[in-house]
Amino acid sequence: MRISLFLFAFCAFIKVQAQDDFSAVFDKINTEVQNGSKAYPNLKNATELIGHRLTGSANGGKAEDYAYKLLKSYGYDVKFQPFEVESWSRLTNETKIGDSVDKLIRVTSVTLAHSPVKADVVAEMVDLGNGLEEDYKQDAGNVKGKIALVFLGVLPGSPEGTPALHRSEKAAIATKYGAVGIVIINGVKGGVLLTGTASVTGKLIPIPAVCIGLENGMRIKEKLKAQKQFASLKMTNFSGVIKARNVIATLKGTDTLADKIVVGGHLDSWDLATGAIDNGIGSFAVIDMARTYKTLKLVNKRTVEFVLFMGEEQGLLGSKAYVEAAKHLGTLSQIRFMLNYDMTNNPKGFATSRIEMKDLFASWGSQIVKIDTGFKNLFYSGAWLHSDHQPFMLQGIPIGGGTGGDLPNNSGPYYHSDGDVFKLVDEQELKNTVRFSAMLVYGLANTPVLPVKKQSENELREFLKQNNLEVPLKIAGEWRW
């Protein structure tokens, strides 16, 4: 009996693989995107007409309307999904550092989001290296009442395997050990300043947090080896509850089970620049995938929802609202897979949280390679945090997206900075994101059998542990086991 069951399962698998010859549709998608993609001009218009897309701002509202109208013009059933967000924006900021409180010199800095509405702190500085928990334990109590100086990412020369915590997690650790402020050193040369949230919850933190440039930061670290340094962190910010809106375009499938694939990217950006890379290239690729589907009149087995999330930068607020709404409506179980496009550019393969997808992804990838050998059919399986896939993954839903591509025109250093502008975008690489990703969407929406399902609580807990996510999730207060 066991042999018969094995043969049945094996034959069923072979049948699924045989039915997954999507090469004809992939060819159509390729031709349409190469000749008719609107992602590049649409993003250009958005950066010129709207500017930044900060959640809760007037510009954020304009971006929501812009995406809605584009998707509507392509023939979609489009809806807004409103949610409340604790909006934050910077007003004034002054950072001074020196050998004594009487000899403080102004240092160029940028306030990190969700810092207090008002702060005026003067205190001694202490170098906490990478800002990890073990750094604080080595100097137990030494930071209490002082301002922590930490490096963003991992300091050169750190032991192999040193974790690179998110800036918000480093701010949470500084707060835990009694720091009255935190100064984070950006790792990019040339005085580039980086913003981003310093809050793991999306709510205000109790201490002021700022980012300073690499050169200034390393100079201060050297001075601290020889003598004490003091800092003054003075700032005002705005915070208040407002409404923001996710934008959802639905392409209904033919399957009566109402299973669906969610394809998302965050539309919002920070306010220092136009967010062309973070996340214009991702969100406008999603919009153009939707356009491609309508232009080709593609029909799917599973429903596809193209979602533009707001509030990602301020704590994954839009994607959390989407998941909570699905839980409330009892539709969370319908989501069979979530693809997230956050600064995805020119992918060379596919990534997923589920190793079980390897054969299917490789099968579809081999068909793509026949169309374009620039696609290398790479495969990555694992788990990661801090983008809109996270709320889905923490519900056990399989997630994925593109992998293996580099950001265009050395734009990585300008992430979250005033240098994130449209001239960094590469038109052909953006087209590559659209065409390869639209093919992946088609595969997921039409393969007869998806070999993955929602993980149970026990499976999810072990999966997260295996991927070393227990500690950061505990810091963020999202470890529920």
Dump pLDDT digits (tens) for 417-461. Answer: 989 999 999 999 999 999 999 999 999 999 999 999 999 999 999
Residue linked to tokens 């301020």: 314
**pLDDT tier at 314 (50, 70, 90 boundaries)?**
confident
Question: Where among 182, 216, 238 does a domain terminate?
Answer: 238
Residue 67 is assigned to a structural domain of this protein: yes
Residues 224 and 275 in one domain: no
Does residue 357 have a pLDDT over 60? yes
Backbone angles phi, psi at 38, to 5 degrees: -115, 5
Q: How many CB atoms lie within 10 A of CB 477?
A: 10
Which of 92-101, 133-142, 220-229, 409-418 is predicted with the least confidence, judged by mean pLDDT? 133-142
- Six-digit token string for 471: 């500690």
Instruction: Please check whether residues 256 and 321 belong to one and the same domain.
Output: yes
Across the range 14-39, mean pLDDT stands at 86
Strand locations in 274-382, DSSP E?
303-309, 335-340, 349-352, 378-381
Cross-strand partners of 349: 378, 403
Query: Given this model, what pLDDT does residue 140 score?
Result: 59
**How much is the average pLDDT of 450-474?**
97
What range does the domain containing 194 cover? 87-238
Whether residue 170 has pLDDT greater than 80: yes
Work out the number of other CB atoms within 10 angstroms of the CB of residue 369.
13
Does residue 119 form part of some domain? yes
Is 428 a domain residue? yes
**Residue 15 within a domain:** no
Q: What is the pLDDT of residue 160?
A: 95
Average pLDDT, the chain: 94
- CATH of residue 450's domain is 3.40.630.10
Q: How far apart are CA 325 and CA 142, in angstroms?
A: 45
Q: Which residues pair with 75 in a beta bridge?
A: none
Instruction: Pick the more confident residue, 45 or 141.
Output: 45
220: domain CATH number is: 3.50.30.30
Q: Are 165 and 196 in contact (CB under 8 A)?
A: no
Last residue of a domain, one of 219, 238, 257: 238
- Asked if residue 365 is part of any domain, the answer here is yes
Segment 236-280, tens digit of pLDDT: 999 988 889 999 999 999 998 899 999 999 999 999 999 999 999
5, pLDDT greater than 50: no
H or E stretch covering 44: helix 39-49
Residues 378 and 447 grouped into a single domain: yes
Query: Residue 19: pLDDT above 60?
Result: no
Is residue 47 domain-shared with residue 196, that is, in the same domain?
no
122-127 contacts, C-beta under 8 A, 24 or more apart: 122/230, 122/231, 122/232, 122/233, 123/147, 123/180, 123/181, 123/230, 123/231, 124/228, 124/229, 124/230, 125/97, 125/149, 125/183, 125/220, 125/224, 125/228, 125/229, 125/230, 125/231, 126/224, 127/221, 127/224
Q: What is the mean pLDDT of residues 123-145?
A: 90
Residue 481 belongs to some domain of the structure: no
Domain count, the chain: 2
> How much of the chain, in percent, has pLDDT values that exceed 90?
89
Residues 359, 440 share a domain: yes
DSSP letter, residue 158: P
Q: Are residues 294 and 423 in the same domain?
A: yes
Say yes or no: 456 and 307 in one domain: yes
Within 373-468, where are the H helices?
390-393, 427-446, 457-466
81 and 95 within one domain: no
> What is residue 138's predicted lDDT score, i.e. its pLDDT?
83
Find the DSSP H helices in 297-386. Answer: 317-329, 358-371
Q: What integer is the mean pLDDT of 349-354?
A: 98
My answer on whether 255 and 362 are in the same domain is: yes
CB 181 within 8 A of CB 111: no
Q: CA-CA distance, 252 to 259, in Å (whole number)?
A: 10
User: Would you say residue 6 lies in a domain?
Assistant: no
Domain finish residue from 238, 256, 273: 238
Mean pLDDT score, 20-35: 98
Task: Please report the pLDDT score of residue 276 as a whole number.
Answer: 98
Beta bridge partners of 339: 263, 400
pLDDT of residue 12: 44
Is the domain of 189 the same as that of 284? Answer: no
Q: What is the mean pLDDT of residues 175-190?
A: 96
Counting residues of the chain whose pLDDT is more than 70, the rounded percentage is: 95
96 and 82 share one domain: no
- pLDDT of residue 17 exceeding 80: no
Find, among 37, 101, 468, 91, the residue nearest to 292 by Cα: 37
Residue among 296, 269, 311 nearest 441 (CA): 296
**Whole-number pLDDT of residue 15:** 47
Query: What is the mean pLDDT of the segment spanning 51-78?
Result: 96
Alpha carbons within 13 angstroms on the beta-carbon side of residue 102 total 0
Taking the C-alpha atoms of residue 274 and residue 264, their distance in angstroms, rounded to an integer, is 20
**Is 1 inside any structural domain?**
no
pLDDT of residue 8: 42
What is the longest distance spanned by two Cα atoms in the chain?
85
Verify that 205 and 348 share a domain, yes or no.
no
